[in-house]
Amino acid sequence: MPYRVKIIVFSLVALIGLTIFVPTVSAHGFGERYDLPVPLNYFIIGASATVALSFVVIGWFIRQGGNTSEYPRLNLWKSVYFRVLGRCFSIFAGMFSVLLLILTVISGIYGTEDALNNFSPTFVWIIWWVGIGYFVAFIGNFWAISNPWQVVFTWIEVVFSLNSSPRLRWPRWLDAWPALIGFFLFAWVENVYSGGSKPYSLAWIIVGYSAITWMGMFLFGKYTWLKRGDPFAVLFALFARFSPTEVRVVTSSSMRNVCDICISGCSTSVNLNSDVQGCVDCYECWEMADDDVKEFSIRPWAVGLSRGER
């Protein structure tokens, strides 16, 4: 069976399974406690086996595939109207996300302590955490243009004419471990820490995360921090590999020059993976590249999962 057909069949089966067999659930960021219907050790073993089986299935699909860069794409960036619309949408999404961030913090600090009647817990745990994850996976990496911390830092760079060069070099051995540790801390806040459901505590957690994020961007560079240190940017970028859209800087001499000056490290991925024809989903290169080497494309779902580069 051809590799593309396997990807399509696997995606359809997974989607049908999700829609048919998923029971009714409630948001678990706050609200009533839910007790497991089975012993905890059975639950942990079953969850571990599910994760292991998922890796086996994914590994089988990747091994059976050939040149995964050759998949159909429809480049929408060729249209001038789409370029104008895309830039306007990006500006609007960034401004709106910053307003939502401010509203979340203010409502958490000054609003009611009743989690069910406060905007902050509902927005963070249901609308943002659940909603953005599904949107990124099934539509595209919306977080890459609407990340309010990235938007605010970009505004600061422009207003104060800050040098975008990193003050410190990101240690190669560190890789993306800080992002993984940050995600574990976030999971602890969501599932263990009692203050995660309290608006006031949640607001100050967001303030602390904001300070760490902006300091990381200032010291190591905006895109380096997003690719290596920020748990949500790394996670949503991984989710976006399943999505039917991508941004790409096509293979050319211009692309090589852009990747060579990309401080977040995409040039290593491009050089080590000759089957990837272009720089895919690197938003630093996308920001620096000329329009004639850019692509914003519609592609088959899930083909990005088999890409080898980071």
Q: Is residue 4 part of a domain?
A: no
Q: Is residue 265 part of a domain?
A: no
Q: Given a cut of 80, is residue 27 above it in pLDDT? A: no
Q: Is residue 166 part of a domain?
A: yes
User: For 260-299, b where at least 16 C-beta lie within 10 A, e where not — what string?
Assistant: eebbbbbbebbeebeebebbbbbbbbbeebeeebbbbbeb
Element (H or E) spanning 296, and its range? strand 294-298
pLDDT for res 7: 56
Per-residue pLDDT band for 21 (boundaries 50, 70, 90) equals low
Q: Is residue 194 part of a domain?
A: yes
Q: Is residue 279 part of a domain?
A: no
pLDDT for res 127: 92
Element (H or E) spanning 295, and its range? strand 294-298
- Those residues whose C-beta lies under 8 Å from the C-beta of residue 302, and which sit 6 or more positions away, are 7, 10, 11, 241, 242
* Structural domain for 102, as ranges: 81-238
Domains: count for the chain: 1
Terminus-to-terminus CA distance in the chain, angstroms? 28
Q: Is residue 186 part of a domain?
A: yes
Q: Given a cut of 80, is residue 134 above it in pLDDT? A: yes
Could you report the per-residue pLDDT of 54-94, keeping only the tens digit for each? 767 666 655 555 555 578 889 999 989 999 999 999 999 99
Q: Is residue 119 part of a domain?
A: yes
Distance of CA 107 to CAs 97, 124, 292, 295, Å?
15, 12, 44, 40
Q: Is residue 302 part of a domain?
A: no
Model-level pTM? 0.76
